């Protein structure tokens, strides 16, 4: 296969570099985001060798290439500078919150494997000491602790890289700014608590480890900072002057302006929640538990550190840790519900691991960024459940007597002199899990089921738009054995042929009669899913001029699977010297990944599928 030539033709047909915003690929498709899809002639793209079809969905121009798509993409990527993540178009749909969430999700998605790994290490560090396999005082435990912490603490650095691709910023410059915000010397100065400034500008003493929003905002701003310097710096000085100025300006803005925004917002939120708590504790807990996922996402929960870090029997926390119990378990339950409900195998695995991490270790980032925030409805379910459980905690006065990240394993942090406290904690845990799971199941997820997914069997006799039932009883043979080159060479499309043993031709799916030839020897059908099928009864039977054929339907008539379409006297046709083999061809095969015949099928009955469309 000449991947280079095909990639070049695709590149030219879709408008080249000037019309391609971004390009990536999945298992079988090139996925392009174009500036103007109207410039592309779909029919010309379909004619390119190797192209199986074209689909436009979700703002993407998808070119179906099959299992070799990675090779085509490799050659295509050599022809232009394509982003790995889609750039937001000026016509982006959805409200501001949805677009904001989409940006976070797309930037966070590549981080999911690292967060899952770190989260599962944290689970092991909770479970292994409980079963006596590992001591919490051992060096192994200490080393594995920072193994588990690393993906979360250095999240801003990883985000800087993915966000740089999203916003078209030089990746290593963005990573450098994240490094400035996490530099150990800066962290040490923050820990000292002494006033800090740069060029006379005050720097807010804040920790940016595990934060998300500050670096995303910063990289977005760097898009304009880089662009401004790129315009004004002479080419001869650009190689060393531009990086210098970008790092200086961006670093100062990050520490003086952007970074502190989360801290100030957190302090404001903290003051507001404490005020509400003084007026109506149940409402404060309800709000906190509902919005905890969004608070954690921004890193603003650290504004409450003075409250929850000193939790003890003498000074129990009645706000943050109880709210996190409901919120953390809700995230885990939502992820588990998605794992059970989802059809995509990869999503099921990611959601399952994310759910376990949240439920057992209280590590919610994988579930939040990889599942609930991405699909939105599970997040809404978790927030509703959190609010309900929060109100219950407010009325019952749930308290945490120790600082630990709330989870099922950490429930002992709610054990105190009041025996009812741990009972209420268990009730909250159970309610949060059950309620969230049920709500997520009811709300569902808008899952984009891959079109290249293998079609599963369905009960015999039912209609499935992605499979074709036998239109006639008889012996099944490959299309290549038909004594007509138009069919045997598959010029008309993919399919099979049947040597009939019954005189009735029936509808192979639900759909419409597209055309019926005047000679009645052939009939064209279109399924409800857009599959176009030609049933050609016999070879050269057009010469019979309709003799021995009786049409039972007419053009444009609605049909259902199993409905009689034609009555044919095959014995008379044979006697007249004609071959009765009946080709069944998907004439728009190029619109699908593949059209395959049922394996090892020798005979066909009306209630059996003979073709599967993938």
Q: What is the pLDDT of residue 350?
A: 82
Q: What average pLDDT does this structure show over 301-317?
A: 66
Instruction: Specify whether the CB–CB gap between 559 and 565 falls below 8 A.
Output: yes
Q: Are residues 403 and 538 in the same domain?
A: no
Tell me the pLDDT band of 102, cut-offs 50, 70 and 90.
low
606 alpha carbon, distance to own chain's centre: 39
pLDDT at 459 > cutoff 50: no
Q: Are residues 68 and 104 in the same domain?
A: no
Q: Are residues 261 and 120 in the same domain?
A: yes
Q: Are residues 239 and 336 in the same domain?
A: no
In a domain, 321, yes or no: yes
Q: Are residues 487 and 434 in the same domain?
A: no
Q: Which candidate in 26, 107, 389, 426 is catalytic?
A: 26
Q: Are residues 217 and 332 in the same domain?
A: no
Of 175, 123, 177, nearest to 145 (Cα)? 123
In the chain, the number of structural domains is 4
Tell me the pLDDT band of 531, cut-offs 50, 70 and 90.
confident
| Long-range contacts, stretch 9-16, CB < 8 angstroms, 24+ apart | 9/48, 9/49, 10/45, 10/48, 10/51, 10/63, 10/72, 10/76, 11/76, 11/79, 11/80, 13/40, 13/41, 13/44, 13/45, 13/48, 14/39, 14/40, 14/45, 14/61, 15/39, 15/40, 16/80
Of 553, 535, 554, 440, nearest to 495 (Cα)? 535
Q: What is the pLDDT of residue 530?
A: 82
Percent of residues, the chain, with pLDDT higher than 90:
31
Q: Are residues 541 and 492 in the same domain?
A: yes
The model's pLDDT over 327-355, given as tens digits with 9 standing for 90+, comes to 999 999 999 999 998 877 767 888 898 89
The model's pLDDT over 581-613, given as tens digits with 9 standing for 90+, comes to 999 998 887 777 677 777 666 788 888 888 887
72-81, 294-303, 546-555, 565-574: segment of lowest average pLDDT: 294-303
Which residue would you say has higher pLDDT here, 7 or 528?
7
pLDDT at 517 > cutoff 80: no
Domain closes at, from 411, 443, 475: 443
CATH number for the domain including 15? 3.30.1360.60
In a domain, 451, yes or no: no
Instruction: Specify whether the CB–CB gap between 567 and 552 falls below 8 A.
Output: yes
In a domain, 478, yes or no: yes
**Side by side, which strands form the sheet with 20-25?**
20-25, 29-34, 60-64, 53-57
Tell me the pLDDT band of 267, cut-offs 50, 70 and 90.
low
Q: What is the pLDDT of residue 310?
A: 63
Q: What average pLDDT does this structure show over 76-103?
A: 59
In a domain, 37, yes or no: yes
107 flagged as catalytic:
no
Domain closes at, from 228, 258, 279: 279
The model's pLDDT over 195-217, given as tens digits with 9 standing for 90+, comes to 899 999 999 888 888 777 788 88
Q: What is the pLDDT of residue 447?
A: 60
Domain closes at, from 388, 408, 443: 443
In a domain, 291, yes or no: no
Which residue would you say has higher pLDDT here, 277 or 551?
551
Q: What average pLDDT does this structure show over 241-270?
A: 82
Tell me the pLDDT band of 568, cut-offs 50, 70 and 90.
very high
Task: Domain of residue 46: give its range.
Answer: 3-79
* CA distance linking residue 434 with residue 431, whole number of Å: 5
Strand partners, 499: 475
DSSP per position, 387-407: HHHHHHHHHHT--B-S----S
User: What number of helices (H) and strands (E) belong to the chain?
Assistant: 22, 20
In a domain, 289, yes or no: no
Query: Average model confidence (pLDDT) for the chain?
Result: 82
Q: What is the pLDDT of residue 268?
A: 66
Strand partners, 32: 23, 61
CATH number for the domain including 488? 2.70.70.10
Q: Are residues 439 and 508 in the same domain?
A: no
Q: Are residues 410 and 493 in the same domain?
A: no
Which residue would you say has higher pLDDT here, 306 or 205?
205
Would the pTM of this model clear 0.85, i.e. be above it?
A: no
CB hemisphere CA count around 359 (13 angstroms): 19
In a domain, 89, yes or no: no
Instruction: Specify whether the CB–CB gap between 322 and 422 falls below 8 A.
Output: no
* CA distance linking residue 408 with residue 430, whole number of Å: 10
Which residue would you say has higher pLDDT here, 518 or 46?
46
Q: Are residues 253 and 134 in the same domain?
A: yes
Q: Are residues 480 and 394 in the same domain?
A: no
Which residues, in sequence order, are CB contacts of 181 under 8 Å at separation 6+? 156, 208, 214, 215, 254, 255, 259
Q: What average pLDDT does this structure show over 550-556?
A: 89
Tell me the pLDDT band of 230, cut-offs 50, 70 and 90.
confident
The model's pLDDT over 350-378, given as tens digits with 9 standing for 90+, comes to 889 889 988 988 888 788 877 888 788 99
* CA distance linking residue 249 with residue 243, whole number of Å: 10
Q: Are residues 581 and 494 in the same domain?
A: yes
In a domain, 293, yes or no: no
The model's pLDDT over 382-410, given as tens digits with 9 standing for 90+, comes to 999 999 999 999 899 898 887 777 889 88
Q: What is the pLDDT of residue 101?
A: 61
Q: In 10 A of CB 461, how many CB atoms? A: 11
Q: What is the pLDDT of residue 458?
A: 35
């Amino acid at each position: 296969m000449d991947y280079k030539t095909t990639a070049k033709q695709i590149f030219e047909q879709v408008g080249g570099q000037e019309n391609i915003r971004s390009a990536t690929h999945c298992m079988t498709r090139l996925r392009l985001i174009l500036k103007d899809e109207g410039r592309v002639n779909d029919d010309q793209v379909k004619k390119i060798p190797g192209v199986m079809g074209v689909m436009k969905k979700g703002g993407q121009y998808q070119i179906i290439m099959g299992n070799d798509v990675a090779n085509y993409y490799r050659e295509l990527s050599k022809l232009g500078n394509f982003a790995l993540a889609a750039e937001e178009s000026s016509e982006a749909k959805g409200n501001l919150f949805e677009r904001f969430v989409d940006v976070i999700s797309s930037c966070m998605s590549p981080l999911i494997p690292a967060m899952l790994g770190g989260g599962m290490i944290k689970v092991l560090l909770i479970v292994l000491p409980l079963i006596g396999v590992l001591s919490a005082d051992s060096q192994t435990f200490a080393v594995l602790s920072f193994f588990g912490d690393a993906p979360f603490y250095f999240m801003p650095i990883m985000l800087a890289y993915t966000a740089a691709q999203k916003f078209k910023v030089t990746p290593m410059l963005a990573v450098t700014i994240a490094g400035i915000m996490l530099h150990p010397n800066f962290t040490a100065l923050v820990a000292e608590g002494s006033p800090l400034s740069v060029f006379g500008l005050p720097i807010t003493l804040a920790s940016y480890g595990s934060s998300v929003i500050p670096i995303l905002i910063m990289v977005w701003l760097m898009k304009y900072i880089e662009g401004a310097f790129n315009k004004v710096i002479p080419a001869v000085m650009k190689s060393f002057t531009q990086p210098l100025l970008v790092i200086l300006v961006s670093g100062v803005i990050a520490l003086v302006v952007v970074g502190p925004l989360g801290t100030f917002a957190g302090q404001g939120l903290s003051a507001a929640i404490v005020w509400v708590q003084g007026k109506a504790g149940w409402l404060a807990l309800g709000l906190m538990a509902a919005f905890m996922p969004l608070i954690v996402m921004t890193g603003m929960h650290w504004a409450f550190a003075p409250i929850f870090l000193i939790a003890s029997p003498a000074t129990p926390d009645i706000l943050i840790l109880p709210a996190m119990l409901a919120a953390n378990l809700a995230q885990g339950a939502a992820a588990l519900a998605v794992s059970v409900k989802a059809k995509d195998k990869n999503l099921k695995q990611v959601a399952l691991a994310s759910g376990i991490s949240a439920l057992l270790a209280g590590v919610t980032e994988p579930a939040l960024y990889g599942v609930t925030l991405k699909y939105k409805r599970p997040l809404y379910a978790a927030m509703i459940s959190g609010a309900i459980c929060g109100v219950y905690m407010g009325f019952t006065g749930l308290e945490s007597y120790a600082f630990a990240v709330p989870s099922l394993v950490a429930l002992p942090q709610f054990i105190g002199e009041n025996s009812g406290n741990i009972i209420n904690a268990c009730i909250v845990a159970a309610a949060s899990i059950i309620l969230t799971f049920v709500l997520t199941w009811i709300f569902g997820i808008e899952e984009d089921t891959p079109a290249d997914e293998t079609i599963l069997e369905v009960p015999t006799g039912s209609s499935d738009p992605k499979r074709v039932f036998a239109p006639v009883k008889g012996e099944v043979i490959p299309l290549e054995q038909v004594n007509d080159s138009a069919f045997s060479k598959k010029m008309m499309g993919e399919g099979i042929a049947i040597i009939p043993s019954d005189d009735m031709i029936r509808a192979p799916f639900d759909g419409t009669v597209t055309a019926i030839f005047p000679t009645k020897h052939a009939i064209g059908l279109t399924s409800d899913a857009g599959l176009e099928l030609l049933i050609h009864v016999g070879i050269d039977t057009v010469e019979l001029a309709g003799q021995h054929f009786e049409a039972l339907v007419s053009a444009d008539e609605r049909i259902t699977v199993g409905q009689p379409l034609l009555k044919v006297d095959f014995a008379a046709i044979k006697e007249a010297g004609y071959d009765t083999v009946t080709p069944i061809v998907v004439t728009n095969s190029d619109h699908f990944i593949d059209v395959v015949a049922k394996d090892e099928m020798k005979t066909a009955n009306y209630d059996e599928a003979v073709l599967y469309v993938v």
